A and B are shown apart, each in its own frame.
Chain A
């Protein structure tokens, strides 16, 4: 009776999927049951023969890959889902930039966002220059660079 009940669990034991108490029960049974022991031995041996990887014929991996790639469509399948992982960080960064612009920059002494937004290029550059703590001079490389841009 116990044998018939336990033999149903033999496959799960073989796969090490029994709980600890079930495994102990099975191992105790196996000590006294040559039939179950033999079944386990046979499964192992048959499986080793039928599913031996060394029996598979060799083939060239690079050629296989080339064949698969040659059968693919020219353009990969488009998916909006694929864009989701990228759109979330981009949107987040954009919102953070807007928040910084509206909340932090107006509080910087000497910074006038209106002059930046509403002025032409020249005044924009001037207001940027006014943020610099360095005095305006020909030796200041930052100012030199901006002047170069203006010339362009």
Chain B
């Protein structure tokens, strides 16, 4: 057997083998840290959030009932922690979508170009984080868990305490919101100006 199952490791830890937790940390740190970065944007805060989430998971390990996979349970703890951090951050000023468009027009146009994917630079990460930060927190959570972490609808329902049908409809709304954020830069000919001076998208 290549790797000890998560549940067996949890039993070992609860029976007194603290070092077994290092195996779980090694196994899931990349996913948890990446998820925190998508949720929070800032890499330093993402590191702290990932560490805190692992410590919280350890402290709550006796509450893990094994109804879901350990990774799903860990995502739930990480989600709650990141949402708490975002709530606290709300008190500080954040970049609005309009301000972001003004500041980052060049980069956003690059996103629409074909070379955007190839250019995996820190600038692109920064821009991606800024775009994500303009989405509502629940949309960001859903999209990150689905698109980056590949969770199934059922797992998303477990993490977010909602039904599969709710996941389906919320995900649809989140994708539309994400598309609206960057649509301007994909195909400007789809956007024209209404009589009131507001941009309107053709459907």
**A interface residues, Cβ below 8 angstroms from B:** 8, 10-12, 14-15, 17, 35, 38-39, 42-43, 45-57, 59, 61, 64-65, 67-69, 71-73, 75-79, 81-83, 85-86
Contacts and interface: CB of A to CB of B under 8 A. Distances in A.
Contact of B172 (A12, A65, A79): A12
B67 to A, nearest CB: 13
A56 B33 contact: yes
Contact of A49 (B62, B117, B187): B117
A69 B55 CA distance: 8
B147 A50 contact: yes
Interface stretch (B19-27, B83-91, B94-102, B191-199): B19-27
A110 to B, nearest CB: 43
A10 B55 contact: no
Nearest to A50: B128
A46 B183 CA distance: 9
Interface in B157-203: 168, 171-172, 175, 178-179, 182-183, 186-187, 203
A77 B128 contact: no
A55 to B, nearest CB: 4
A50 B143 CA distance: 10
B38 interface: yes
Contacts of A68: 21-22, 25, 29, 51, 54-55
A69 B29 CA distance: 12
A59 B33 contact: yes
Contact of A52 (B14, B43, B117): B117
Contacts of B26: 61, 65
B55 A50 contact: no
B58 A49 contact: no
B50 interface: yes
B35 to A, nearest CB: 10
Classify the secondary structure of A's interface with B: helix
Nearest to A9: B172
Given A14-B175, A42-B186, A52-B120, A71 B51 contact: yes
B137 interface: no
Contact of A43 (B122, B179, B203): B179
B79 interface: no
A48 B33 contact: no
Contacts of A47: 143, 147, 178
B33 A69 contact: no
B148 A51 contact: yes
Contacts of B178: 43, 46-47, 50
A45 B182 CA distance: 11
A51 B147 contact: yes
Contacts of A46: 178-179, 182
Contacts of B47: 59, 64
